[in-house]
């Protein structure tokens, strides 16, 4: 069978890997009621963080990723599940409601994509001039700031290996 | 004044005043200006334009209006910019 479609290879990226220290950042963290500036290190003071970078809210990969993490109850293992995309807080509020992820710790809003740049996972979008966003990526960060598990897409579209993510979360 | 028992400081805040605000709301900006004028450290929480979606504010001050503040140093939680400005002046203005 010859499927006539194109999965795009992404160029190699010098990104944060397992064993590295997760770069700290502060951005508005959106929940189902409000948003406020929160640092990654603030969250780590409470519990490990599963940091999930997605394409902009509304893109189908984001929808699929949130549905899957929700259905697996990924927050029930004692990690704070946190998203990052370039979407605004207003869009994040809609996404939280539509995906039913109110029990997750929230979605960081990063319209200028600086967090993705810090993590080495910025991706310029073909056909959307001047817009870049994170490649789909997942980082499990221990309370001491160490990245325990990292997955970064090397093609587009691509999805995390959810079983591997779940194993990493359970193993932490 | 409708002051209530303040809830504890939000986990992510280093400031003793939490300001619930709406982006571009002139009444909220009035309170921001007052906080800056009195050199009071504050932490912003932004809520939705839709009044009905502001339950976080309602839980704190009993109404869904913004601005609203919580001051965990004095235990005060209150709404309405006029009241808030008077409260801040009286508490932190230092008198004339």
Q: Over the stretch B27-54, which tens digit does the pLDDT of each residue have? A: 999 999 999 999 999 999 999 998 888 8
**How does residue A158 score in pLDDT terms, banded at 50, 70 and 90?**
very high
The length of chain A in residues reads 172
pLDDT of residue B42: 96
Taking an 8 Å cut-off on Cβ atoms, the answer to whether B55 and A89 are in contact is no
Residue from A25, A30, A34 whose CB has the most chain B CBs within 10 Å, to mutate: A34
Identify whether B47 is part of a domain: yes
Q: CATH number for the A9-161 domain, one of 1.10.3720.10, 3.40.50.12780, 3.40.50.1220, 3.40.30.10?
A: 3.40.30.10
Is 90 exceeded by the pLDDT of residue A44? yes
Q: Average of pLDDT values for B4-23? A: 79
Give me the domain span that covers residue B55.
Answer: 15-92
Q: Give ipTM to 2 decimals.
A: 0.90
Give how many domains chain B has, as a whole number. 1
Using CA atoms, how far residue B32 sits from B10, B42, B52, B76, in Å, is 18, 9, 24, 17
Query: Chain B residue with minimal CA distance to A30?
Result: B46
For residues A23-33, average pLDDT: 97
Q: What is the average pLDDT value for chain A, to the nearest integer? A: 96
Please report how the helices B81-92 and B26-37 are oriented relative to each other, as an axis angle in degrees rounded to 10.
0
pLDDT at A103 over 90: yes
């Amino acid at each position: 069978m010859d499927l006539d479609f194109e999965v795009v290879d992404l160029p190699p990226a010098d990104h944060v890997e397992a064993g590295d220290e997760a770069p700290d950042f502060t951005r508005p963290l959106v929940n189902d009621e409000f948003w406020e500036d929160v640092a990654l290190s603030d969250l780590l003071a409470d519990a490990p963080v599963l940091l999930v970078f997605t394409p902009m809210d509304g893109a189908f990969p984001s929808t699929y990723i949130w549905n899957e993490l929700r259905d697996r109850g990924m927050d029930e293992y004692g990690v704070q599940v946190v998203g990052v995309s370039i979407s605004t807080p207003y869009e994040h509020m809609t996404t939280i409601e539509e995906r039913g992820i109110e029990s997750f710790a929230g979605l960081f809003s990063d319209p200028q994509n600086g967090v993705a740049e810090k993590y080495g996972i910025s991706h310029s979008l073909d056909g959307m001039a001047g817009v870049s966003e994170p490649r789909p990526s997942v980082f499990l960060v221990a309370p001491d700031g160490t990245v325990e598990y990292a997955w970064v897409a090397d093609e587009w579209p691509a999805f995390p290996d959810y079983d591997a993510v779940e194993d990493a979360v359970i193993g932490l | 004044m409708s002051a209530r028992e303040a809830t504890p400081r939000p986990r992510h805040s280093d400031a003793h005043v939490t300001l619930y605000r709406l982006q571009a709301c002139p009444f909220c900006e009035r309170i921001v200006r007052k906080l800056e004028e009195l050199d009071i450290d504050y932490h912003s929480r932004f809520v939705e334009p839709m009044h009905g979606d502001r339950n976080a504010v309602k839980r704190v001050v009993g109404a869904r209006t913004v601005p609203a503040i919580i001051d965990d140093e004095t235990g005060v939680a209150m709404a309405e910019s006029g009241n808030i400005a008077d409260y801040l002046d009286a508490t932190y203005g230092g008198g004339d």
